[in-house]
Amino acid sequence: MIDWLGPEEWQAVRLSLKVSATAVAASLPLGLLCALALAKGRFPGRQLLNGLVHLPLILPPVVTGYLLLVAFSRQGPLGSVLEPLGISFAFRWTGAALAAAIMAFPLMVRPMRLAFEAVPPALEQAAATLGASRLRVFATVTLPLALPGVVAGAILAFAKAMGEFGATITFVSNIPGETRTVPTAIYAFLQMPGGEGAALRLVAVSVVLAMGALLVSEWLSRRIARRVAA
Amino acid sequence: MIAVAAKKRLGAFDLDAAFEAPPGVTALFGKSGSGKTSLINAVAGLMRPDAGRIEIDGAVLFDSSARIDVPVHRRRVGYVFQDARLFPHMNVAKNLAYGGRHDRDRVIDLLGLDGLLDRRPAALSGGERQRVAIGRALMSDPRILLMDEPLSALDAERKSEILPWLERLRDEAGLPILYVSHAASEVARLATTVVVMEAGGVKRAGAVAEVLSDPAAVGMIGAQEAGAVVRARIAGLDRIDGLTELALAGGRIVLPGRLGGIGTHLRLRISAQDVILSRDKPQGLSALNILSAKVTAIDEGPEGVAVGLLCGADRLLARVTRRSARALRLEPGQQVWAIVKASAVAPDDVSGAT
């Protein structure tokens, strides 16, 4: 595998894995919260939250990337606040992770939300009558029953993050070793004379990863039904 | 001592019910849609009344005027749902321990759960699931047990399998039980107190023997379901003919089958439609069970005439047609003969007494 990929290609694969893993790990708590709020919550602004979560799916990725660039550049409203704290996203791999996290967020929330919705409220009520606080009900009944869906959401988000291109290249450019992920590397190799071979190898890696993620997440989704039905 | 008062507007349905009950099993009895489950949910805290007060053995769980509303998980109610609601991802042992390990060994023994501990809920029969659900509720050390038609999802065989467990529970656990049911036979077998509900309100409340033998209550309970509950002692056994002789306060009756050892006390439900009345002592009749009785009350309903009888100290209930009532010239205070059809008493209507 290592011999099969050139050093530059391998670097892009490693960076993509790092960026995607960071993106998923960092957005998971917020993803869970949004999924839970959308599945079980009854509050004003629920439709607005739903819209916001799904926005990156509909918006052209270049628009998302540009908005991130405006917000997180050194002079931007968020960048100027974070810069003195030593947190910077612009043209850094962390920025690639942020872009990937936002673009993957709708895909993460959707299966989680469906899994939370599938947990029968009757079981949560039963747990409450047995003395469990809301937090304990969530930790011992809701989350375990929804776990396959939660994992499925995380895997889908990871796969989406691996493939994120438009927002990433707009926000953090295409710097080898820093922000050159697999998709931006494919783009760069295609611009280069004689780069087709490298591009093709990375394409193969992308297809295998995406296919694998889809299969695993489908299999996990089917498990929810079996777990809850009893 | 249970004191419940709850008002709630639920769409077009108005719940406005109040009752008090002494220790023991209190049956909330009524047709589906009469508000039984809503009332029990108010006790559990799963439904919040618009106004009312709920007190169990001195603990106030809800009081709208004092702004008390104890959250569900602090109410200490053991709720046994109609559909068991076991956690599918936990085995029986973990389900049982979810709410605590109060009196664990005794509960497992009381409900015969020992052989089930390693199994998942999906691998249990309906009756086993209900037993686990009851055990789980008991182990959470509740101050009251709430049971919402715990037998209605079961077939007759499973019902008769689980009823003795419920009787043991009533007699041994010493816990107040609020029991929702629409089956008069279950109520007669288990309850100390009956609260009859209709259209969101309490129609009648009182001791089980008193309410079930009251002719005026027949309309609420249903003509087919009506019947008095009496206590009896086994006075003799006829092994050759397979009969059991029972001593009631007002005489003896003989039932088919072996119902227990001599001296055992039983609770017996005698369905109103299985009691025939006669002015003169009947002769040459195949039924062996002829009791002398006094008419105490007569209630004419759309489906016939319900007649309350006093037979020694036991209250019985008979149902006759309007024409028979006229022919017999029934009136309160009159002496009659009550004939109980022996074969009509179903095994489910005989149970251990308290």
Domain boundaries, chain B: 2-212, 227-352
Domains in chain A with CATH codes: 7-228 (1.10.3720.10)
* Chain A residues in contact with B73 (beta carbon < 8 A): 128-134
Q: Quote the minimal CA–CA distance from B256 to chain A in Å.
A: 41
First to last CA, chain B: 18
Nearest to B80 by CA among B19, B23, B8, B152: B152
**Could you list the pLDDT tens digit for every one of the 354 residues in chain B?**
899 999 999 888 899 999 999 988 999 998 888 999 999 999 999 999 999 999 999 999 999 999 999 999 999 999 999 999 999 999 999 999 999 999 899 889 888 899 999 999 999 998 899 999 999 999 999 999 999 998 887 788 778 777 887 888 888 877 899 999 988 888 888 889 999 999 999 999 999 888 888 888 887 887 777 888 888 888 888 888 888 888 888 888 888 888 788 888 888 888 888 888 888 888 876 656 888 899 998 888 887 889 999 988 888 899 888 888 888 888 898 899 998 886 556 555 666 655
On whether the B2-212 domain is CATH 3.20.20.80, my answer is no
Put simply, the answer to whether A227 touches B88 (Cβ < 8 Å) is yes
* Chain B residues in contact with A122 (beta carbon < 8 A): 81, 83, 85
Put simply, the answer to whether A131 touches B140 (Cβ < 8 Å) is yes
Put simply, the answer to whether B89 touches A125 (Cβ < 8 Å) is no
Q: Give the C-alpha separation, B120 to B162, whole Å.
A: 20
DSSP states of B37-61: HHHHHHHHTSS--SEEEEEETTEEE
Q: Under CATH, which number does the domain B227-352 receive?
A: 2.40.50.100
Q: Is B235 helix (H, G, I), strand (E, B) or coil?
A: strand
- ipTM entry: 0.82
A136: tokens are: 């304990």
| B contact set with A (CB within 8 A) | 44-46, 72-79, 81, 83, 85-89, 98-100, 120-122, 136-137, 140
Sign of CA dihedral B48, B49, B53, B56: negative
pTM value? 0.81
- b/e burial code for range A137-167 (CB count within 10 A of at least 16 → b): bbebbbbbbbbbbbbbbbbbbbbbbbbbbbb
Q: Comparing B2-212 with B227-352, is the CATH topology the same?
A: no
The DSSP call for residue B322 is H
Q: Quote the minimal CA–CA distance from A30 to chain B in Å.
A: 26
Phi-psi region of B181 (alpha: psi -120 to 50; beta: other; left: phi over 0): beta
Report the 10 Å Cβ neighbour count for B190: 25
Measured between CA atoms, the residue of chain B closest to residue A145 is: B89
Q: Give the C-alpha separation, B147 to B136, whole Å.
A: 13
- For the stretch A213-218, contacts whose Cβ atoms lie closer than 8 Å and that sit 24 or more positions apart, written own/partner, are A213/A155, A213/A156, A213/A158, A213/A159, A213/A162, A214/A156, A214/A159, A216/A152, A216/A155, A217/A111, A217/A151, A217/A152, A217/A153, A217/A155, A217/A156, A217/A159, A218/A152
Q: Give the C-alpha separation, A153 to A158, whole Å.
A: 9
